[in-house]
Amino acid sequence: DVKVTQSSRYLVKRTGEKVFLECVQDMDHENMFWYRQDPGLGLRLIYFSYDVKMKEKGDIPEGYSVSREKKERFSLILESASTNQTSMYLCASSPPGFSGANVLTFGAGSRLTVL
């Protein structure tokens, strides 16, 4: 019954490494999102995409990039990981448009530690 799958639940990387976080959804949703969650700061939107090859910056895009080559897959890329990117990363998807039915479905999260 899993609908949004994040490839890794736990990752440990070193400063300066390139990190890929993968997210796949099987609900044929147009919209996909990457959030990060930190204690005391709640969920903050990094990037989102409302179509293949489309992307929009969220509230904290610095240090991140994204890729959406296929509708079901949305990747978050840390070009050069830093310790302040240690966080829980959450991927979500939703149907298109703006309506009351536009509900987010989240993945289980990827906890990244950068040493």
Partner 1 sequence: DAKTTQPPSMDCAEGRAANLPCNHSTISGNEYVYWYRQIHSQGPQYIIHGLKNNETNEMASLIITEDRKSSTLILPHATLRDTAVYYCIVRPPGSSNTGKLIFGQGTTLQVKP
Q: Does 31 bind partner 1 (CB under 8 A)?
A: yes
Rule CB under 8 A: say whether 60 interacts with partner 1. Answer: no
**Which member of 25, 33, 34, 78 binds partner 1 (CB under 8 A)?**
33
Closer residue to partner 1 (CB): 11 or 17: 11
Compute the distance between CA of residue 28 and CA of residue 49 in angstroms, rounded to an integer. Answer: 13
Of 58, 63, 67, 71, the one binding partner 1 (CB under 8 A) is 58
Out of 19, 46, 78, 90, the residue judged to bind partner 1 by CB under 8 A = 90
Amino acid at site 78:
L
Site for partner 1 contains 42 (CB under 8 A)? yes
**Is residue 66 within 8 Å of residue 77, measured between CB atoms?**
yes
Who's near 75: CB < 8 A, 6+ residues apart?
Answer: 20, 21, 22, 23, 66, 67, 68
Distance separating alpha carbons of residues 43 and 24, to the nearest angstrom: 20
Is the distance from CB of 45 to CB of 59 less than 8 angstroms? yes
Establish if 76 lies at the interface with partner 1 (CB under 8 A).
Answer: no
Interface with partner 1 (CB under 8 A): 4, 31, 33, 35, 40, 42-43, 45, 48, 50, 56, 58, 90, 92, 94-98, 100, 102-109, 111
